[in-house]
Structure formats: structure tokens, C-alpha cells
């Protein structure tokens, strides 16, 4: 049985689990190699993907609320418009990811690497970003309200169009000179 067949079985069982049906089982893809897989639109709500390799995968419009992606490799992954509400991502690597329009509401993004990632129109409200590295990321129109940016590396990030937390002021060096 190839990985494709096994993955299909896991996803079908997870869909049953998600719907509370008999024969369902939470998807546990810990450490799985899913690099360059087409997972667009898939429902992985609450799935366990710790240390999984999703590098270069297509996860557009995927549903990942509450999924555990701790330490997952998501370099250059296409996550556009994915729902990652309350997902757990400490230490995940999203370097160069296409993540525009992603719902990161109340996510644990501590120590996540977002260097050179496309993060336009993302919702980071209530997300934990301590230790996250955003250098070189495109964060145009990002929603950062109710986000504690303490300890996040925002070096070279243009936040001029972002919705910033109340009372947050950009470091003088980060402001564009008139």
C-alpha cells in the first residue's frame, strides 16, 4: 500500500472522526513526509502533524483549526486562505510560505519562522508570536489587533498598512522616512 492510499484512508477516517461517526479516528501524521502533497481544501481540524514535512505542499483553503503542527516543516508551502484558528505551531518553519489570507486567530506561533513569507491579509488577532521571526515577510494589511508583539522579530517588515495593537508604536528605524 503506497503513501497515497494510506493518506486517503487516514483522511477518510479523520473526516468520520470530525463528524462524530463510527469508524472515525483522529489523523495522527506525526513525522509524516507530506512534502509536495496536494492537500488543498482538506479537513485536518484537530489533526496531529507534529514534526511533519509539508514542504512545498498545497494546503490552500485547508481546514486546520486546532491542529498540532509543532515543529512542522512548512517551507514554501501554499497555505493561502487556510483556516488555522487556534492551531498549535511552536517551532514550525514557514519560511517563504504563501500564507496570505490565513486565519491565525488565537494560534500559538511562538518561535515560528516566517522569514520571506507572504502574510498579506492574515488575521493574527490573539496569536502568541513570542520568538517568531518575520524578517523580510510581506505583512500588508495584516490584522495584529489584540496581538502581543513582544519578543517577535519584525526586522525590515513594513507594517504601515497593518492594523496594529492599540498603543503599539513602530520602532523609529522601521518607519519610512518622509
Enter the C-alpha cell of residue 3. 503513501
Instruction: Please give the Cα distance from 140 to 150 (Å, whole number).
Output: 19
Instruction: Give the model's pLDDT for residue 4.
Output: 67
Q: Could you list the pLDDT tens digit for every one of the 178 residues in the chain? A: 456 668 999 999 999 999 999 999 999 999 999 999 999 999 999 999 999 999 999 999 999 999 999 999 999 999 999 999 999 999 999 999 999 999 999 999 999 999 999 999 999 999 999 999 999 999 999 999 999 999 999 999 999 999 999 888 776 544 444 3
Instruction: Give the model's pLDDT for residue 169.
Output: 79
Q: Measuring CA to CA, which residue among 34, 123, 29 is closest to residue 73?
A: 34
Instruction: Give the model's pLDDT for residue 41.
Output: 96
Assigned CATH topology for domain 27-167:
Pectate Lyase C-like (2.160.20)
Positive or negative torsion for Cα 132, 68, 146, 140: positive
Amino acid at each position: 500500500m503506497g503513501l497515497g492510499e494510506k493518506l486517503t484512508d487516514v483522511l477518510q477516517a479523520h473526516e468520520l472522526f470530525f463528524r462524530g461517526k463510527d469508524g472515525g479516528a483522529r489523523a495522527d501524521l506525526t513525522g509524516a513526509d507530506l512534502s509536495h502533497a496536494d492537500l488543498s481544501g482538506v479537513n485536518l481540524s484537530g489533526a496531529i502533524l507534529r514534526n511533519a514535512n509539508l514542504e512545498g505542499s498545497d494546503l490552500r483553503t485547508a481546514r486546520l483549526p486546532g491542529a498540532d503542527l509543532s515543529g512542522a516543516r512548512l517551507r514554501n508551502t501554499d497555505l493561502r486562505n487556510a483556516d488555522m484558528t487556534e492551531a498549535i505551531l511552536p517551532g514550525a518553519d514557514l519560511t517563504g510560505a504563501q500564507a496570505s489570507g490565513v486565519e491565525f486567530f488565537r494560534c500559538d506561533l511562538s518561535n515560528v519562522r516566517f522569514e520571506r513569507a507572504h502574510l498579506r491579509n492574515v488575521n493574527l488577532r490573539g496569536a502568541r508570536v513570542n520568538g517568531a521571526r518575520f524578517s523580510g515577510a510581506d505583512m500588508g494589511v495584516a490584522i495584529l489587533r489584540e496581538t502581543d508583539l513582544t519578543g517577535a522579530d519584525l526586522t525590515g517588515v513594513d507594517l504601515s498598512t497593518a492594523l496594529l495593537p492599540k498603543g503599539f508604536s513602530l520602532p523609529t528605524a522601521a518607519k519610512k522616512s518622509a
